[in-house]
């Protein structure tokens, strides 16, 4: 699988790790990763440390996740971006909607 979900020990955050390509092929797996979160989760971290490529559908998936979890999750973070992925996110102004690191 090219996507992995891990809940924190105290169940207050979830980390979704995406491998290599973040594109339309991940739409169902990505949606499944956040669709059944416990009510105790207040932070979602999308870890892109292994992601080398993302396209516009990935940007849409991130926005859909944020919209679906609005009111339930208070913090959305995109972590460990490689330079080429960070550039795409900044050009698309995702640094205004997500905490980028």
Domain coordinates in residue numbering, the chain: 3-100
- pLDDT score at 1: 53
State pLDDT tens for residues 14-71: 999 999 999 999 999 999 999 999 999 999 999 999 999 999 999 999 999 999 999 9
Mean pLDDT of the chain: 95
pTM of this structure: 0.94
Q: Is 3-100 a CATH 3.30.750.24 domain?
A: yes
62: part of which helix (H) or strand (E)?
helix 56-69
- pLDDT score at 101: 86
């Amino acid at each position: 699988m090219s996507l992995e979900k891990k809940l924190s020990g105290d169940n207050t955050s979830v980390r979704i790790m995406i491998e290599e390509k973040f594109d339309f092929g991940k739409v169902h797996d990505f949606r499944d990763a956040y669709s059944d979160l416990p009510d105790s989760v207040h932070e979602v971290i999308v870890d892109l440390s292994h992601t080398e490529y993302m396209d516009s559908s990935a940007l849409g998936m991130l926005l859909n996740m944020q919209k679906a979890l609005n009111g339930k999750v208070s913090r959305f973070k995109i972590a460990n971006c490689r330079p080429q992925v960070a550039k795409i996110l900044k050009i698309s102004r995702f640094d205004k909607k997500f905490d980028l690191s």
